[in-house]
Amino acid sequence: MKLMSFISNLAMPLIILAIVIYGMFQKNKIFDDFLEGAKEGLEIVFSIFPTLIGLFVAIGALRSSGVLDIIISFLLPILNVIKFPTEVMPLAILRPISGSSSIAVATDIMKNYGVDSIIGMIASTIMGSTETTLYTIAIYTSCVKIKKTRFVLIAALTADIVGIIISVVACQLLVSID
C-alpha cells in the first residue's frame, strides 16, 4: 500500500510537469494559457452556481419529502441481504436520471460521511462507473433520429445496475483488504 500511496502522491505533480514540458516544447505561453483557463473556469462556476443552488434545494426537498425514504424502505430487505449501504441509495436511484442531481447527492454524501469513508468511496466509484442514462439516450437517439429505444434503455440501465453493484463490492473488498 505504501507504493500505491507514493505513486498516487506523485501522479499530479508529474502530470503538471509533463504539461509544462510539453508546453515549453510547443513554445506556448504556458502561464498565459493557465490564466485564460482559470478565467474560463471561474466564468463557468459563476454561470452554474444558481443551478447548483437550485439543485441542492430540490434534492433537499426530495429527500425531506420522504419519497426517496419510501423507495429505500421498500428496498431495504433486499439491500440488507446483499449488504448494500442504504446511504448511497439516493445516489444509485438518481444517477441514471440526472447528472446534476447525482452530483448534488454525491456532494452531500461526501459532506456527511467524508471522502475517505467507505460510503464516500462507494459514492465516488458509482459516479465514475455509471452514466446519466436517460439523458444520454435522449440526446444520442434524437441526434440520429432513432425512435425505438426499448432495448437500448434496458441494456443501459442494466449496465448502470451492474456498475453500482460492482462499485459497492469492489470498495468493500478493498476496505477489507486494507
pLDDT band at 113 (very low <50, low <70, confident <90, very high): very high
DSSP letters, 138-165, are HHHHHHTT----HHHHHHHHHHHHHHHH
In angstroms, rounded to a whole number, what is the distance separating the alpha carbons of residues 36 and 29? 11
pLDDT for 85: 92
In angstroms, rounded to a whole number, what is the distance separating the alpha carbons of residues 27 and 105? 43
Report yes or no: 20 and 30 within 8 Å, Cβ to Cβ: yes
Model-wide pTM > 0.85: no
> Model confidence over 128-170: pLDDT tens digits?
999 888 777 776 776 677 777 778 889 999 999 999 999 999 9
